[in-house]
Amino acid sequence: MMDWPILSWLIWLPCAGAIVVLLAGNARPRLARWLSLLFSVATFGLSLVMLAVYWVAPSGFQMQENLHWIPGINTSYHLGVDGISVALVVLTAVIHILVVGGAWQVIKVKVHQYMAAVLVLDGLLIGVFCAMDALLFYLFFEAILIPMFFLIGVWGGERRVYATLKFFIYTFFGSIFFLIGILYMYHRAGTFDLQTLQNFPFTFKEQTWLFFSFVIAFAIKTPMVPVHTWLPDAHVEAPTGGSVILAAIMLKVGTYGFLRFPLLITPDASQHFAWLIIVLSLIAIIYIGYVAMVQPDMKKLVAYSSIAHMGFVTLGLFIVYMLARQLNDPGMAQLGVQGAVVQMVSHGFVSGALFTCIGVMYDRLHTHEISVFGGLAKVMPWFGAFWILFAMANTGLPGTSGFVGEFMVIMSAFKASPWIALFAAYSLIISAGYTLYLVRRIIWGTAPTPKAAAMPHLNAREGWVLTGFALAVLAIGVYPWPLMHLMDSSVAQIVTHLMTSKIG
């Protein structure tokens, strides 16, 4: 219905913006800031247009663009969005505005480069969520490593070299298998087109190899236990904006990959090995919860809590086979998948907000150590209130976005097996444990040092950024229906698709 290539604009506008910001140069940080805000807001505006177009008739892949790109190997520049992509693209665009706002006066060196890296990430991440070609997806998937590498490596903390190397090599290591998988599929099917590949009848043995090549890549990216250890290190060293993008969006690239590749391309192998992913997800929820509880560093704590929350996403995605195929209940399967996607969006806002809060504290006392802080409710009352809100969202309190996805996944998991639901519901206890124990130490009580007692109040800019997060968290929690409406038909299609076996 629209010939105007809106998705390309969404991807390349922020990238072009990055070049413009770079041209502003190091000497004019003010200009660089305003330009990046302008470009991120413009991207967000475009994403709203896309949302509006999709909202009218939410089904299938829309706004497709298909250009023959490298005809020799039959790969094409094929973009398109379904309800899930739309939600994630809007999330990406919103988060980047908040990241630009959050970095305003905090980043003092090489402002233009920092902002350019953020804008490039904006475009590339949107690209990941729009790609309908496996090779194109892979390119975006890999390319996002580069600006993130610079964000952590240049503006990071003391051990940033160790953290960036670990982050880069670890995720890159996973991607190699992914690339081999993609090349093998091309070898067999003669195309990189995702929809063709999803319908291509791979044998069970092929599916098994492909499944593991996907899982290694996406499990590291998500991250899942036991390949998660890069994340806490990367977060601790990353600057606030890097952490926010990493937690809010980059982790979703992994779970989004699960949704587009193994779930649909290798459904029979996924069904066969679903137990493995389910067990690892439950371990993430419980085991990582305990690990989070004892972290002395706030960023590590929230990083571990992210891993636990991602467990709900992978759980929701992989119980789908038990529900749709073994129990023949596509309705519950849809509830699980939709819950997983809602959890992805919600976690984007909640973890982004928490890392922004930690950034606010870091700007004042230059540390993430929990023991340094205390009594924020008295020292910075408004900030304390924001903290409580986001902490409650993190524990999945109804009325906040954190509840919706977890509720949906637990509801559908019970049908798959009461035991899965039991272990998943343990999250109610353990997430309250680690989150509120943190809140007790930093928000309540009294400030341990005069310096901690004299922290300046939130300034207007910080207040606006946190208000943005708070509105999103509350809106999704109080009225999640629009989000459901957006992706209902897309998820239904996915469930219908994976109900039919490829090996007959």
Mapping DSSP onto H, E and C, the string for 208-251 reads HHHHHHHHHHHHHHCCCCCCCCHHHHHHHHCCHHHHHHHHHHHH
Q: In the set 302, 410, 458, 494, which binds another protein (CB under 8 A)? A: 410
d(CA 416, CA 403): 20
Counting residues that bind another protein (by CB under 8 A) gives 66
- 141, 257 in Cβ contact below 8 A? yes
Residue 363 as a binder of another protein (CB under 8 A): the answer is no
Figure out which of the listed residues 182, 244, 408, 473 binds another protein, where binding follows CB under 8 A: 408
**x/- map, 451-490, another protein, by CB under 8 A:** ----------------------------xxx--xx--x--
Calculate ∠ Cα 479-398-352, nearest 5°.
80
Residue number, 49 or 474, with CB nearest to another protein: 474
Q: What is the chain's alpha carbon radius of gyration, rounded to the nearest angstrom?
A: 22
Task: Choose between 100 and 284: whose C-beta lies nearer to another protein.
Answer: 284
- Choice from 7, 292, 308, 353 touching another protein (CB under 8 A): 292
Residue 145: how many CB atoms within 10 A of its CB?
A: 18
- Cβ neighbors of 186 (< 8 A, separation 6 or more) are 73, 74, 134, 135, 192
The DSSP output letter for 73 is: G
Q: Taking the complex as a whole, how short is the minimal distance between the CB of residue 49 and another protein, in angstroms? A: 25
497 binds another protein (CB under 8 A): no
Cα distance between residue 334 and residue 255, in whole Å: 16
Q: How does DSSP classify residue 27?
A: T
Within a 13 Å sphere around the CA of 70, how many CA atoms are in the beta-carbon half? 8
225 touches another protein by CB under 8 A: yes
Q: Given the structure tokens 């999103």, which residue do they identify?
A: 472
330 binds another protein (CB under 8 A): yes
436 contributes a contact to another protein by CB under 8 A: yes
Q: Say how far apart CA 303 and CA 238 lie, in whole Å.
A: 12
67: part of which helix (H) or strand (E)?
A: strand 62-70
- Using CA atoms of 334, 308, 397, 447 in order, give the dihedral in degrees to the nearest 10: -160
With beta carbons less than 8 A apart as the criterion, state whether 379 and 447 touch. Answer: yes
Question: CA torsion, points 93, 97, 99, 102, in degrees to nearest 10?
Answer: -160
In whole angstroms, how close is the CB of 88 to another protein at the nearest point?
18
Q: Does 297 contact another protein by CB under 8 A?
A: no
Asked if residue 228 binds another protein (CB under 8 A), the reply is: yes
Closest distance of CB 300 from another protein, Å: 9
Distances (CA, A) of 298 to 59, 171, 232, 345, 371: 41, 24, 10, 22, 10
**Of the residues 42, 279, 425, 499, which one makes contact with another protein according to CB under 8 A:** 425
Residue with smaller CB distance to another protein, 265 or 284: 284
Residue from 433, 448, 463, 499 binding another protein (CB under 8 A)? 433
Should residue 331 be labelled a site residue for another protein when binding is judged by CB under 8 A?
yes
Closest distance to another protein from the beta carbon of 91 (Å): 19
- The answer to whether the CB of 29 falls within 8 A of the CB of 112 is yes
Q: Which is nearer to another protein, 139 or 411 (CB)?
A: 411
Residue span 232-271 as binding mask against another protein, x where in contact by CB under 8 A, dash where not? ----------------------------------------
Q: Does 432 bind another protein (CB under 8 A)?
A: yes
Determine the interface stretch with another protein among 42-50, 142-150, 250-258, 444-452 (rule: CB under 8 A): 444-452
Asked whether position 166 contacts another protein by CB under 8 A, the answer is: yes
The three-class DSSP label of residue 353 is: helix
Query: What CA–CA distance (Å, rounded) separates 23 from 119?
Result: 14
Site track 170-189 with another protein (rule: CB under 8 A), x = hit = x-------------------
231 scored as a contact of another protein (CB under 8 A): no
Closest separation in Å from C-beta 324 to another protein:
12
Q: Which residues bind another protein (CB under 8 A)?
A: 166, 169-170, 225-230, 287, 290-295, 329-332, 334-335, 338, 375, 377-378, 388, 392, 395, 397-399, 403-404, 407-408, 410-411, 413-415, 418-419, 421-422, 425-426, 428-429, 432-433, 436-437, 440, 443-446, 479-481, 484-485, 488, 491-492
